[in-house]
Amino acid sequence: MRLPIALAACLIALPSAAGAQTFKSSAGDLKIETVVGGLAHPWALAFLPDGRMLVTERAGRMRIATPDGKLTAPLQGVPKVFASGQGGLHDVIADRSFAQNRTIYFCYAEPASGGARTAMARATLGEGKLDDVKVIFQQDGPLSSGNHFGCRIAQTSDNNLFLTQGDHFTQRDEAQNLGNHIGKIVRVAPDGSVPKDNPFAGRRDAKPEIWSYGHRNSQGAAIHPATGKLWEHEHGARGGDEVNIPQPGKNYGWPVISHGVNYDGTPVGSGKAEMPGMEQPVKYWVPSIAPSGMAFYDGALFPAWKGSLFVGALAGQILVRLTLDGEKVTGEERLLQGIRERIRDVRTGPDGAIYLVTDNSGGRVLKVVPAQ
C-alpha cells in the first residue's frame, strides 16, 4: 500500500513592492498575469498553432482568446448542452494535425430524455463558427441528473482519442459494469470507430470502446510526452482523489475500494483500500483537493520543473506540482496558495508559461510566469 507523499513546505502569496501578488515557489517567485477575464465558469483551454486559444464556458459557449487579451463572440454551431449542475460544455482540444485539417474535438453533457450523458464531437473551426459538427461518441448507460460527467479528452500519437467519463454520482455501481460506459475511460478513433486493439473489442459482454473501468469522476487527462501513456486523475469522495496511469482492460476499483470515505463518513464499498484484481493509484490525496485539469510541463521558462506533472484544484484552490521518477510520484509542491479561485484547467503554453482556467462566475484565463 502506498502512503501519501509528504507535502512540500507551504508556499503562500506575498505582496510585491508594487502591491500586486507574487507567489513563492521552488523555482523562484511567480507572477500571475490575466490573459482574459469576465468568463462565465470557463472549463477548458486549447492552444491553436498561431498562439490563440479556444476557451469553453460551461453554459455552452466556445470562444477564441488571443495572447494580447482579445476575446471573440461565442462561436456559432456548438450543439445544445445540458447546462445544469456540473453539466455543460466541457473539454476541447485541437487535433494533432490542426494546421492541415482545422479539426477540433470537444465533449459536453448532451441532453437526453430524463437527464444527460457525456458526448464527444468533432468539428472544423471556421470563421466565427464550427462547421461539419459530428457527434463521434455518445455514452451508453443510465443518465445523469447533473453530476459526474468526467469529460476530458487526450489524443495520442496514433491520433486515437481517450475520453474520461464519470459515474453520474447516483449510478456509481455501474462503474464496475462492462455493459455500459458509466465510470469508464473509452478510446476511439477520430471518426468514432473502435480501434481493433482495444482491450474489450470483440467481446459480447463488454462495450468495445472501453479502455479501463472502475473510475469515479475523472476531470484530468494528459499524455506523457516521453512514454506516450495516458495519465488521468479523478475525484474521490471524502478523500481518495487519485492519479492513475490507466492500463488497457484494468479495473481501478471504484466503488469497491477507495482511499477515502463517503461524504457522510461511512466506508466506501468494501471499506478497503486494496483488493486483488484492482489497481492502485500512483498518487492519492487525503483529504481531497478536488483535482481538475492536468498537464505535463515541457516548456523552457521553468527548466527546474521540466517533466513535472501539474494538477489544478477546485476545493483546494491551488496548483499542485508533482515530481516524478518514471511512473512513481516522488514529491508534491503546493503553489499559488492564496489565489482564492477554483482552478479548472491547466495547460503548458507554447511560450513555456503555465496557463490556468479558473471556474468562477467571473472566470479568468491566467498566465503563470517567473516574476523576474
pTM: 0.94
Provide the pLDDT for residue 302: 98
The number of residues in the chain equals 372
Q: What is the DSSP string of 46-108?
A: EE-TTS-EEEEETTTEEEEE-TTS-BPPPPBTPPP---STT-SEEEEEE-TTHHHH-EEEEEE
Q: How far is CA 141 from CA 147, 175, 236, 242, in A?
A: 14, 10, 21, 24
- Go through 182-202 and write b for each residue having 16 or more CB atoms within 10 A of its CB, e for each that does not: bbbbbbbebebebeeebbbee
d(CA 351, CA 331): 26
Provide the pLDDT for residue 40: 96
Phi, psi of 303 (to 5 degrees): -60, -30
Burial (CB < 10 A; 0-12, 13-18, 19+), residue 207, is buried
Burial (CB < 10 A; 0-12, 13-18, 19+), residue 1, is exposed
Q: pLDDT tens track of the chain, all 372 residues?
A: 333 333 333 333 433 333 347 999 999 999 999 999 999 999 999 999 999 999 999 999 999 999 999 999 999 999 999 999 999 999 999 999 999 999 999 999 999 999 999 999 999 999 999 999 999 999 999 999 999 999 999 999 999 999 999 999 999 999 999 999 999 999 999 999 999 999 999 999 999 999 999 999 999 999 999 999 999 999 999 999 999 999 999 999 999 999 999 999 999 999 999 999 999 999 999 999 999 999 999 999 999 999 999 999 999 999 999 999 999 999 999 999 999 999 999 999 999 999 999 999 999 999 999 998
Q: What is the DSSP string of 294-345?
A: EEE---SS-GGGTT-EEEEESSS-SEEEEEEETTEEEEEEEE-BT--S-EEE
Q: How far is CA 337 from CA 11, 68, 153, 190, 283, in A?
A: 6, 26, 28, 39, 21
pLDDT tens by residue, 285-344: 999 999 999 999 999 999 999 999 999 999 999 999 999 999 999 999 999 999 999 999
User: Phi-psi bin for 350: left (phi > 0), alpha (psi -120 to 50), beta?
Assistant: alpha
d(CA 187, CA 32): 36
Q: Which CATH architecture has domain 30-283?
A: 6 Propeller (2.120)
Q: How far is CA 65 from CA 38, 45, 73, 312, 341, in A?
A: 12, 9, 10, 21, 20
Provide the pLDDT for residue 372: 83
Output DSSP code: residue 110: E
Q: Residues with catalytic annotation?
A: 148
Task: Please enumerate in sequence order all residues whose Cβ is within 8 A of that of 120, keeping only pairs 6 or more positions apart, or say none.
Answer: 105, 106, 107, 135, 136, 137, 153, 161, 163, 188
pLDDT tens by residue, 146-189: 999 999 999 999 999 999 999 999 999 999 999 999 999 999 99
The answer to whether the beta carbons of residues 349 and 355 sit under 8 Å apart is yes
Q: How far is CA 223 from CA 31, 170, 191, in A?
A: 27, 30, 20
Output DSSP code: residue 173: G
- Coil, helix or strand at residue 151: coil
